[in-house]
Amino acid sequence: MENRIPLIGEKFPELEVITTHGKMKLPEVFKGKWFILFSHPADFTPVCTTEFVGFQKRYDEFKKLNTELIGLSIDQVFSHISWINWIKEKMGVEIQYPVIADDRGKVAERLGLIHASSTNTVRAVFIVDPNGVVRAIIYYPPELGRNLDEILRAIKALQMADKAKAAMPANWPNNELIGDKVIVPPASDVESAKDRLKNYEGYDWWFVYKKLDE
Protein backbone atom coordinates (compact mmCIF):
# COMPACT_ATOMS: atom_id res chain seq x y z
CA MET A 1 0.00 0.00 0.00
CA GLU A 2 1.57 3.26 -1.14
CA ASN A 3 2.04 6.03 1.43
CA ARG A 4 1.36 9.31 -0.34
CA ILE A 5 -1.06 12.20 -0.52
CA PRO A 6 -4.26 11.09 -2.30
CA LEU A 7 -4.70 13.05 -5.51
CA ILE A 8 -7.70 15.19 -6.36
CA GLY A 9 -10.11 12.99 -8.31
CA GLU A 10 -8.95 9.77 -6.66
CA LYS A 11 -10.96 7.70 -4.21
CA PHE A 12 -10.11 8.43 -0.59
CA PRO A 13 -8.11 5.43 0.74
CA GLU A 14 -10.01 2.79 2.71
CA LEU A 15 -8.83 3.05 6.31
CA GLU A 16 -9.94 1.59 9.62
CA VAL A 17 -9.31 4.16 12.33
CA ILE A 18 -9.66 4.56 16.07
CA THR A 19 -11.46 7.78 17.04
CA THR A 20 -12.93 9.53 20.03
CA HIS A 21 -16.28 8.10 18.81
CA GLY A 22 -14.99 4.54 18.48
CA LYS A 23 -13.74 2.53 15.50
CA MET A 24 -14.65 3.80 12.05
CA LYS A 25 -14.05 2.76 8.45
CA LEU A 26 -13.21 5.57 6.06
CA PRO A 27 -14.70 6.62 3.75
CA GLU A 28 -17.50 4.08 4.30
CA VAL A 29 -18.77 5.65 7.55
CA PHE A 30 -19.62 8.85 5.65
CA LYS A 31 -21.14 7.18 2.58
CA GLY A 32 -23.69 9.48 0.94
CA LYS A 33 -22.25 12.52 2.71
CA TRP A 34 -19.46 14.98 2.11
CA PHE A 35 -16.75 14.93 4.75
CA ILE A 36 -13.75 17.00 5.72
CA LEU A 37 -10.73 15.27 7.23
CA PHE A 38 -8.41 17.82 8.79
CA SER A 39 -5.10 17.00 10.43
CA HIS A 40 -3.42 19.07 13.14
CA PRO A 41 0.15 18.93 14.51
CA ALA A 42 -0.67 18.06 18.12
CA ASP A 43 -3.17 18.24 20.96
CA PHE A 44 -2.80 20.93 23.64
CA THR A 45 -1.32 23.45 21.20
CA PRO A 46 -2.66 27.01 20.81
CA VAL A 47 -3.23 27.24 17.04
CA CYS A 48 -4.91 23.82 16.92
CA THR A 49 -7.15 24.78 19.84
CA THR A 50 -8.38 27.86 17.97
CA GLU A 51 -9.08 25.70 14.92
CA PHE A 52 -10.98 23.03 16.83
CA VAL A 53 -13.19 25.66 18.44
CA GLY A 54 -13.68 27.33 15.04
CA PHE A 55 -14.72 24.08 13.37
CA GLN A 56 -17.16 23.33 16.17
CA LYS A 57 -18.69 26.82 15.96
CA ARG A 58 -19.44 26.09 12.29
CA TYR A 59 -20.38 22.43 12.72
CA ASP A 60 -24.11 23.05 12.32
CA GLU A 61 -23.44 24.96 9.09
CA PHE A 62 -21.40 22.06 7.73
CA LYS A 63 -24.11 19.57 8.69
CA LYS A 64 -26.72 21.65 6.85
CA LEU A 65 -24.55 21.08 3.78
CA ASN A 66 -24.61 17.29 4.36
CA THR A 67 -20.99 17.50 5.48
CA GLU A 68 -19.27 15.81 8.42
CA LEU A 69 -15.98 16.69 10.12
CA ILE A 70 -13.25 14.40 11.40
CA GLY A 71 -9.91 15.46 12.90
CA LEU A 72 -6.56 13.65 13.01
CA SER A 73 -3.22 13.90 14.80
CA ILE A 74 -0.48 11.61 16.05
CA ASP A 75 -1.83 11.43 19.59
CA GLN A 76 -3.51 8.74 21.66
CA VAL A 77 -7.24 8.63 22.36
CA PHE A 78 -6.75 9.63 26.00
CA SER A 79 -4.85 12.74 24.87
CA HIS A 80 -7.66 13.71 22.48
CA ILE A 81 -10.27 13.17 25.20
CA SER A 82 -8.27 15.14 27.76
CA TRP A 83 -7.80 18.04 25.33
CA ILE A 84 -11.46 18.02 24.29
CA ASN A 85 -12.47 18.07 27.96
CA TRP A 86 -10.06 20.97 28.55
CA ILE A 87 -11.63 22.91 25.66
CA LYS A 88 -15.10 22.32 27.12
CA GLU A 89 -14.00 23.37 30.60
CA LYS A 90 -11.92 26.42 29.65
CA MET A 91 -13.65 27.60 26.46
CA GLY A 92 -17.20 26.43 27.06
CA VAL A 93 -17.21 24.64 23.69
CA GLU A 94 -18.08 20.94 23.35
CA ILE A 95 -16.30 19.26 20.42
CA GLN A 96 -18.93 17.02 18.85
CA TYR A 97 -17.10 15.64 15.80
CA PRO A 98 -14.76 12.61 16.02
CA VAL A 99 -10.97 12.87 16.17
CA ILE A 100 -8.72 10.08 14.87
CA ALA A 101 -6.10 8.81 17.32
CA ASP A 102 -2.97 7.91 15.34
CA ASP A 103 -0.32 7.46 18.02
CA ARG A 104 1.77 5.16 15.77
CA GLY A 105 1.44 7.49 12.81
CA LYS A 106 0.23 4.82 10.38
CA VAL A 107 -2.81 6.80 9.19
CA ALA A 108 -0.77 9.98 8.74
CA GLU A 109 1.93 8.06 6.85
CA ARG A 110 -0.67 6.44 4.60
CA LEU A 111 -2.06 9.87 3.69
CA GLY A 112 1.36 11.52 3.31
CA LEU A 113 0.78 13.86 6.23
CA ILE A 114 4.07 13.70 8.14
CA HIS A 115 5.89 17.04 8.34
CA ALA A 116 9.28 17.12 6.64
CA SER A 117 11.10 18.60 9.65
CA SER A 118 9.31 16.76 12.49
CA THR A 119 7.24 13.70 13.35
CA ASN A 120 4.04 15.75 13.67
CA THR A 121 1.19 15.75 11.21
CA VAL A 122 0.98 18.73 8.88
CA ARG A 123 -2.02 21.06 8.93
CA ALA A 124 -3.96 19.57 6.02
CA VAL A 125 -7.56 19.52 4.79
CA PHE A 126 -9.16 16.88 2.57
CA ILE A 127 -12.63 17.57 1.17
CA VAL A 128 -14.30 14.32 0.07
CA ASP A 129 -17.62 14.01 -1.77
CA PRO A 130 -20.50 11.53 -1.15
CA ASN A 131 -18.91 9.07 -3.61
CA GLY A 132 -15.69 8.98 -1.59
CA VAL A 133 -13.77 11.02 -4.16
CA VAL A 134 -11.19 13.61 -3.04
CA ARG A 135 -12.38 16.96 -4.40
CA ALA A 136 -10.02 19.45 -2.77
CA ILE A 137 -6.83 19.47 -0.69
CA ILE A 138 -5.49 22.44 1.28
CA TYR A 139 -2.17 22.55 3.19
CA TYR A 140 -0.96 25.02 5.80
CA PRO A 141 2.33 25.31 7.72
CA PRO A 142 2.35 24.78 11.50
CA GLU A 143 2.51 28.52 12.24
CA LEU A 144 -0.57 29.39 10.16
CA GLY A 145 -4.08 28.61 11.37
CA ARG A 146 -6.67 27.74 8.76
CA ASN A 147 -9.34 30.08 7.40
CA LEU A 148 -12.37 28.02 8.40
CA ASP A 149 -14.80 30.25 6.52
CA GLU A 150 -12.86 29.47 3.33
CA ILE A 151 -13.25 25.74 3.97
CA LEU A 152 -16.99 26.26 4.44
CA ARG A 153 -17.08 28.35 1.24
CA ALA A 154 -15.21 25.60 -0.63
CA ILE A 155 -17.87 23.04 0.32
CA LYS A 156 -20.66 25.37 -0.81
CA ALA A 157 -18.86 26.15 -4.07
CA LEU A 158 -18.11 22.50 -4.89
CA GLN A 159 -21.69 21.50 -4.25
CA MET A 160 -22.95 24.36 -6.40
CA ALA A 161 -20.47 23.49 -9.16
CA ASP A 162 -21.88 19.97 -9.26
CA LYS A 163 -25.48 21.17 -9.23
CA ALA A 164 -25.01 23.90 -11.86
CA LYS A 165 -22.46 21.94 -13.92
CA ALA A 166 -20.30 25.04 -13.87
CA ALA A 167 -17.02 26.41 -12.56
CA MET A 168 -16.89 28.83 -9.66
CA PRO A 169 -15.00 32.15 -9.93
CA ALA A 170 -12.57 33.51 -7.36
CA ASN A 171 -14.18 34.59 -4.08
CA TRP A 172 -17.56 33.20 -5.17
CA PRO A 173 -20.27 34.27 -4.40
CA ASN A 174 -18.64 37.71 -4.21
CA ASN A 175 -16.47 37.74 -7.31
CA GLU A 176 -15.07 41.12 -8.38
CA LEU A 177 -16.06 40.61 -12.05
CA ILE A 178 -19.25 38.54 -12.14
CA GLY A 179 -20.62 38.63 -8.59
CA ASP A 180 -22.50 35.46 -7.68
CA LYS A 181 -22.78 34.18 -11.26
CA VAL A 182 -20.99 31.00 -12.34
CA ILE A 183 -18.68 30.25 -15.25
CA VAL A 184 -19.97 28.14 -18.14
CA PRO A 185 -17.67 25.17 -19.00
CA PRO A 186 -15.42 25.50 -22.09
CA ALA A 187 -16.84 25.04 -25.57
CA SER A 188 -16.43 21.51 -26.93
CA ASP A 189 -16.16 22.46 -30.61
CA VAL A 190 -15.89 25.43 -33.00
CA GLU A 191 -19.62 25.71 -33.65
CA SER A 192 -20.59 25.88 -29.99
CA ALA A 193 -17.81 28.43 -29.41
CA LYS A 194 -19.40 30.74 -32.02
CA ASP A 195 -22.77 30.74 -30.27
CA ARG A 196 -21.58 31.19 -26.71
CA LEU A 197 -21.91 34.97 -26.58
CA LYS A 198 -25.39 34.70 -28.11
CA ASN A 199 -26.52 32.33 -25.37
CA TYR A 200 -24.69 33.74 -22.35
CA GLU A 201 -23.22 36.89 -20.91
CA GLY A 202 -19.48 37.10 -21.29
CA TYR A 203 -16.24 38.93 -22.02
CA ASP A 204 -15.28 36.66 -24.90
CA TRP A 205 -16.17 33.20 -26.25
CA TRP A 206 -13.87 31.55 -23.71
CA PHE A 207 -15.14 33.56 -20.72
CA VAL A 208 -18.91 33.36 -20.45
CA TYR A 209 -21.06 33.09 -17.36
CA LYS A 210 -24.63 32.66 -16.21
CA LYS A 211 -26.97 33.08 -13.29
CA LEU A 212 -27.46 30.00 -11.15
CA ASP A 213 -31.08 29.52 -12.25
CA GLU A 214 -30.28 29.54 -15.98
32 is catalytic: no
Residue 114 banded pLDDT, cuts 50, 70, 90: confident
Residue 72's nearest CA partner among 106, 45, 44, 108 is 108
pLDDT tens-digit map of 189-206 = 888 888 898 899 999 999
CATH of domain 15-146: 3.40.30.10
CATH of domain 165-214: 3.30.1020.10
- State CA 123 to chain mean position distance: 12
pLDDT at site 38:
97
pTM of this prediction? 0.94
| Domain definitions of the chain by residue range | 15-146, 165-214
165-214 matches 15-146 in CATH topology: no
Q: Among 26, 48, 95, 100, which one carries the catalytic annotation?
A: 48
